[in-house]
Structure 1
Amino acid sequence: MGEKCKPDSQELYKLWSTDDFFDCDTRNELKKIAGDAAEIEERFYKYLEFGTAGLRGIMGAGTNRMNIYTVSLASEAFARYIDSLSAEQKQRGLVISYDSRHNSLDFAKKSALVFAKHGIPVRLVDELRPTPMLSFAVRYYNCIGGVMITASHNPAKYNGYKAYGEDGGQMPPEAADVIMREMAGIEDVRTLQWLDETTAVAQGLLTYVGRDLDTAFQNMLLQVQIDKDVVKRHKDLKIVYTPLCGCGNKPVNRILKAIGFENVITVPEEEKPDGDFASIPYPNPEEACAWVRAIKLANKVDADLVIATDPDSDRTGLLVKKTDGTYQILSGNQIGLLLMEYILSAKVATKSLAPDSFVVTTIVSTALAEKIAASYGVKCFLTLTGFKYIGEKIKQYHETGLAHFVFGFEESFGFLAETEVRDKDAVVACMLISEMAAKAADSHKTVNDLLQDLFRKYGYGTEKVFSLVREGIQGQKQIAGAMAALRADETKLKFPDLQIVAVEDYLSGTVKNCLTGEVKALDMPVKSDVLRFKFANNTDFVAIRPSGTEPKLKVYCAAYAESESDSRAKAELMAEVMHKTLDGIM
């Protein structure tokens, strides 16, 4: 929160563990850590911070934990922001959804009742729904904003609170700053109030939505489908799908069935919502541990395609069958390139590619995206990391009629191919990946064949992404220290046979020419804590940034060459240097 209300950990601990305002479970949980100064400090040294990604943290009792009180605090601040708008905007209300995590329904309902206390109408989903459906619902119901209770792909001990603006995109920085200031002004959580559910429903301030939203969302997706005939020819394509115990099961299976696929097999152990994620340590399609059961089932049924969605169904993972019959996990960059090539080529074939079309990706995603876009005469915009920035490009160019949005993606397994959702959408990605596989089957090819064709056409790229996890107070200091050290002296990074020629600092908004020392302004309107180091060939790069939602430093190494082996070797060298250097600094 603000500096004036920086909490004293021991005083807050005493308040939360003894005051009757807090429920019995909260007080009992805290009494169990009595005398553990380090644990008390960890739980109470700060309030969970509200950023452009909302809140995210470990569930438990304390100001630095996700619980009904921190969620209510965020909702109170959000409500005060809405109170500052016009009466018409306020009456448009909010829509709230939630995922399969422990406490998600409780957090969603408590949030709704805080808004109701302010006279702000809330539509609450009648069962869990994915993040892209929440984004769609904000626009569909013409709401002033929305809330999604989710920690996305984090481990089971986490939960989160994502705030959305009226365009269906995540809250822009200016509005998030207002909400953050409102949170900082609430010095005593015991002042928080909410309506009871019966009163909120009776006054029309809380309504439940479901079936109409499902129908509208599916009808929208059907308009995004490109080749309606190809699925008819390959309706028996064998697709193994896992929602990883999240909320993708119903919408993904519905849309695949609606477009004609008849052989979709859902991993049974991971089909139903489960806050423990069937003991998967990281329910994230980026992680190999998330694919164990899917691969086992794929081998059993000899699947043509294997797809996964994360718990809130905004990220999509993909396995492809190699020539030796084994299954390979594709990177987010590879999936994004495949979808971009398929969508653009299919639209050219159907003469539906508008001459002013554009695609969007991020500064840490693959450089091959720009090559693909250029080959189709399509503009490729680069944004900061965070899908809200891709949504802002849609608002800036598509909504104003200046250009036509076709596709956007980021390397962290996020994809979008429609304009009525302003966040990454795993449901539409599953639909288009399956359609792409059916189209490949027309030529007796697999998706892996498509990937190899793409590399032969545009050159080989290897992008290695890894994270250095540093939890707690000390971890925050280590991550900040590493960023500061490399800002001060980029020569700490020494790459054999590779020369850093430029450093792009997206926090200062500058780019430094390392050969001449000249510093210029970056063409990026928004600032972010990202450093990107470019090499002499102007395509290879390494980048680092602190995660906005997890206690980790993310590292990106991208290398491009005429052969797969050369690009891989170069990327592995980059990763080795980055790992060794950052470990040494931290």
Structure 2
Amino acid sequence: MLSSVALKDDFMNSRKLAMSSCNFFSSPICAASSLVFDKSPAALAPLARIEYNTLNLLECQYFDKEVLMKKLVYNRAKQWAALPVFDDETRLEIQSLIDSADMNELTDRFYRQLEFGTGGLRGVLGAGTNRMNIYTVRIASYGLARYLLSLYKDMGAAVCIAFDSRRNSELFARETARVFAASGIKSYLFDALRPVPELSFCVRYKRAAAGVCITASHNPPEYNGYKVFFGDGGQVVPPHDLNIITEVNNITDISGIPVASFEAALETGLIEIVGHEIDEAYLSEIMGQSVHPVNQNNHSITIVYTPLHGTGYRLIPEILKRKGFPASNICLVEEQLRPDGNFPTVQVPNPEERDTFAIALQYASRTNADIVLATDPDCDRIGVAVKDNNAGHILLTGNQIGALLTDYILTGLSEAGKLKSSNSAVVKTIVTTGLIKDICDAHSVECVELLTGFKYIGHWIKNNPGRDFIFGAEESYGYLRGTYARDKDAVLAASLICEMASYYKSRGSSIYDRLQQIYTKYGYYCEFLSSITMKGQEGQKKIISIMNSLKTVPQKLLGSLKIQEIKDYKDGIAGLPRSNVLSFVFHDGSKVVVRPSGTEPKIKCYFMVKGASQEAAEKRNKELQEAFKLI
């Protein structure tokens, strides 16, 4: 028999679970929980309103958390199936799950509210509190609106809104604008889908207070998201991210969120449609980032490009033409040119994945292309394949692309006498190749290292206005040159990569040849990323468990790998913000970095090795991979 203290402790833990799961509505179970130790008739009266038998639950010696969670899920589902604030389609969708007693699906949809994280929302499309739909979008928008009003009050804050090709992206963008309009905040809404870096640029160009892009980047088709930018054009960082999260979490009644008529907001000017003007200003900025002017030999470069059914379909061909590449030498992958949120020709629209290039490489083989480009749906990441010396094409890693661009930019600026070494900086993340630092050291340029996520690179630019920001790179295929935007930009990257290919070919070389020269000079770097998907509530628990267990890895499990130290970034390292990242550093300089993904239900392991030869580096990398399989 549990003691009265133990009983109360167990109940309080269950109550915390209930309260953490009930901030979407003022749920009856929350009210009932707060009255458990008051057995007066007045206190028990509200229990009659609860559809399931809460009295039996309260009469137990202690709460079973699994039972309580099921009760909470069922109660939430009943609300979504019945309350008039939800549309007919939503109510029917949930009612069908209730009728079929599909508790696994109901639990996944209702066990929590879709978390508004430090970058916004991202989740599976569908009805429910843990799904992307117009109701979770309204909550996010109203929370952001309230925070902006608290900062700007009567100063006339405005927001820029863009969207990608995913299912419901335009609907969610319009819904976002309607919520802002109802709060008196003006929205600049793009007339059609646009790359997310153009949204970043638009925020700065329009001097807006914030920006929202409806996108789930390179996630599978069933996902969508809500990405938030602040007034500098960068993704939100502390303290704004946490303050917005607080405002979002304080919203407990969705029926109280004001939503304006879209047509009425257009008439009053609270919604303004934008497009061509922003495009021209944005492309002009990208044109200004060239290292070498495009020369007359460009007609000899053949380019294959696929937007993977996303937003790059118009602006990347346009920027290449403006750079001087003839349209006849730009081969577009027709099967993947049309925007389509179902992404029917690929399993996942991710330019990091080899399978994503299958159709484009067929085009490259037929046209003998020098270079193949693929961008993700929101056009902030770019994958590249180049011709090797064996009449084939190889895919470059994000690290290789970043190193090649760093070398191309720094060498070009140095040769032109435009490199101010003492004030210049290249910025990368802690999981991006150390080869970039070697290249920077050779040019006496500082290489700044930040946490994973391009938002930190954008924030560094903001906080260092006196520095000459040369280039920013992350291993996940994201790059930026210039300060016109504060997020990675695949339109810019496509422009620079093709310029680089043309430059080397005009000198009798190639991107592939230059990469081999870089390895010969600096040593061979070999990086490998292992990502393990762990979906749902159980997956989230497993990721937390893995991260906790890794902190106390026994030396014997690592065998002869000779570990030097384990860095826990939750403790705060080198002045960086605290983060759930572990770095294993070995005596030979090799590193393994482990972290949960911030945008997907995955845990990621980065294996980073430098060797005297390709064979030595690859061998060492495989040793690290095998060792960490045992952990």
Aligned ranges 1:201-216 → 2 under 5 Å: 201-216=266-281
Given the superposition, is the C-alpha separation of residues 76 and 493 from structure 1 closer, same or farther in structure 2, using an over 3 Å criterion? farther
Q: Write the distance in 2 (CA, Å) between the matches of 1:576 and 1:287.
A: 22
- Equivalent residue, structure 2, for 1:322: 388
Of residues 440, 447, 462, the one that matches 1:373 is 440
| C-alpha contact 1:461 1:558 (8 A) present in aligned 2 | yes
Are 2:302 and 1:238 aligned? yes
Are 2:545 and 1:494 aligned? no
Aligned ranges 1:353-502 → 2 under 5 Å: 353-355=419-421, 356-397=423-464, 399=465, 401=466, 403-487=467-551, 489-491=552-554, 494-502=557-565
Of residues 411, 417, 440, the one that matches 1:351 is 417
Q: Write the distance in 2 (CA, Å) between the matches of 1:493 and 1:80.
A: 53
Q: Write the distance in 2 (CA, Å) between the matches of 1:43 and 1:74.
A: 17
Q: Aligned letter for 1:527? A: R
Q: How well do the aligned residues superpose, as a CA RMSD in angstroms? A: 1.4
| C-alpha contact 2:221 2:343 (8 A) present in aligned 1 | yes
Number of equivalenced pairs: 562
Q: Write the distance in 1 (CA, Å) between the matches of 2:535 and 2:482.
A: 37
- Equivalent residue, structure 2, for 1:515: none
Given the superposition, is the C-alpha separation of residues 493 and 507 from structure 1 closer, same or farther in structure 2, using an over 3 Å criterion? farther
The superposition leaves residues 507-548 of structure 1 with CA deviations (integer Å, 9 ceiling, x where unpaired) of: 122xxxxxxxxxxxx2133111000000102x3100100001
Unaligned runs of at least 5 residues, structure 1: 510-521, 582-586
- Equivalent residue, structure 1, for 2:622: 572
Unaligned runs of at least 5 residues, structure 2: 1-15, 23-71
| C-alpha contact 1:92 1:142 (8 A) present in aligned 2 | no
How far is 1:353 from its partner? 1.4
How far is 1:358 from its partner? 0.3
Q: Write the distance in 1 (CA, Å) between the matches of 2:18 and 2:239.
A: 20
Of residues 145, 150, 158, the one that matches 1:93 is 158
| C-alpha contact 1:5 1:187 (8 A) present in aligned 2 | no
How far is 1:496 from its partner? 4.3
Of residues 229, 232, 249, the one that matches 1:164 is 229
- Equivalent residue, structure 1, for 2:45: none
How far is 1:3 from its partner? 7.4
How far is 1:464 from its partner? 0.2
| C-alpha contact 2:178 2:259 (8 A) present in aligned 1 | yes
| C-alpha contact 2:125 2:132 (8 A) present in aligned 1 | yes
Q: Write the distance in 2 (CA, Å) between the matches of 1:404 and 1:162.
A: 28
How far is 1:26 from its partner? 1.1
Of residues 545, 555, 561, the one that matches 2:595 is 545
- Equivalent residue, structure 2, for 1:514: none
Q: Write the distance in 2 (CA, Å) between the matches of 1:557 and 1:506.
A: 17
How far is 1:497 from its partner? 3.4
Given the superposition, is the C-alpha separation of residues 192 and 92 from structure 1 closer, same or farther in structure 2, using an over 3 Å criterion? closer
- Equivalent residue, structure 2, for 1:560: 610
**SS of the residue aligned with 2:225?**
strand
Are 2:180 and 1:115 aligned? yes
Given the superposition, is the C-alpha separation of residues 493 and 225 from structure 1 closer, same or farther in structure 2, using an over 3 Å criterion? farther
- Equivalent residue, structure 2, for 1:63: 129
- Equivalent residue, structure 1, for 2:193: 128
Q: Write the distance in 1 (CA, Å) between the matches of 2:235 and 2:629.
A: 32
Q: Write the distance in 2 (CA, Å) between the matches of 1:36 and 1:99.
A: 32
Q: Write the distance in 2 (CA, Å) between the matches of 1:111 and 1:3.
A: 29
The superposition leaves residues 99-140 of structure 1 with CA deviations (integer Å, 9 ceiling, x where unpaired) of: 000000000000010000000000000000001000000000
How far is 1:325 from its partner? 1.7
**SS of the residue aligned with 1:412?**
coil
Q: Write the distance in 2 (CA, Å) between the matches of 1:391 and 1:160.
A: 20
| C-alpha contact 1:464 1:572 (8 A) present in aligned 2 | no
Q: Write the distance in 1 (CA, Å) between the matches of 2:176 and 2:518.
A: 46
| C-alpha contact 1:463 1:558 (8 A) present in aligned 2 | yes
Q: Aligned letter for 2:353? A: E
How far is 1:324 from its partner? 1.5
Are 2:584 and 1:508 aligned? no
How far is 1:51 from its partner? 1.4
Are 2:378 and 1:284 aligned? no
| C-alpha contact 2:118 2:245 (8 A) present in aligned 1 | no
Given the superposition, is the C-alpha separation of residues 390 and 275 from structure 1 closer, same or farther in structure 2, using an over 3 Å criterion? same
Q: Write the distance in 2 (CA, Å) between the matches of 1:353 and 1:101.
A: 41
Given the superposition, is the C-alpha separation of residues 198 and 238 from structure 1 closer, same or farther in structure 2, using an over 3 Å criterion? same
| C-alpha contact 2:294 2:324 (8 A) present in aligned 1 | no
Q: Write the distance in 2 (CA, Å) between the matches of 1:267 and 1:481.
A: 43
Q: Write the distance in 2 (CA, Å) between the matches of 1:545 and 1:5.
A: 25
Q: Aligned letter for 1:561? A: G
Aligned ranges 1:215-364 → 2 under 5 Å: 215-230=280-295, 232-262=296-326, 263-355=329-421, 356-364=423-431
How far is 1:238 from its partner? 0.1
The superposition leaves residues 58-78 of structure 1 with CA deviations (integer Å, 9 ceiling, x where unpaired) of: 000000000110011000000
How far is 1:20 from its partner? 1.9
Query: What is the percent sequence identity of the aligned residues?
Result: 41
Are 2:532 and 1:532 aligned? no
Q: Aligned letter for 1:387? A: F
**SS of the residue aligned with 1:529?**
coil
How far is 1:481 from its partner? 0.2
| C-alpha contact 1:2 1:181 (8 A) present in aligned 2 | no
How far is 1:5 from its partner? 5.2
Q: Aligned letter for 1:558? A: M
- Equivalent residue, structure 2, for 1:82: 148
Of residues 226, 245, 257, the one that matches 1:192 is 257
Q: Write the distance in 2 (CA, Å) between the matches of 1:561 and 1:324.
A: 24
Q: Write the distance in 1 (CA, Å) between the matches of 2:85 and 2:278.
A: 37
Q: Write the distance in 1 (CA, Å) between the matches of 2:204 and 2:107.
A: 42
- Equivalent residue, structure 2, for 1:512: none
- The structure, 1 or 2, with the larger RCO (C-alpha pairs under 8 Å, 6+ apart) is 1
Q: Aligned letter for 1:350? A: A
**SS of the residue aligned with 1:428?**
helix
The superposition leaves residues 138-162 of structure 1 with CA deviations (integer Å, 9 ceiling, x where unpaired) of: 0000000100100000000000000
Segment of structure 1 superposing worse, 140-149 or 388-397: 388-397
Q: Write the distance in 2 (CA, Å) between the matches of 1:418 and 1:572.
A: 37
- Over alpha carbons, which structure has the higher Rg? 2
The superposition leaves residues 336-358 of structure 1 with CA deviations (integer Å, 9 ceiling, x where unpaired) of: 00000001011111212123110
How far is 1:2 from its partner? 10
How far is 1:457 from its partner? 1.1
The superposition leaves residues 424-463 of structure 1 with CA deviations (integer Å, 9 ceiling, x where unpaired) of: 0001000000010011112211211111111111110000
The superposition leaves residues 181-224 of structure 1 with CA deviations (integer Å, 9 ceiling, x where unpaired) of: 11211112222221011111111100000000000001111111
Q: Write the distance in 2 (CA, Å) between the matches of 1:492 and 1:190.
A: 56
- Equivalent residue, structure 1, for 2:21: 6
The superposition leaves residues 35-91 of structure 1 with CA deviations (integer Å, 9 ceiling, x where unpaired) of: 1112111100101111122110000000000011001100000000011012465x1
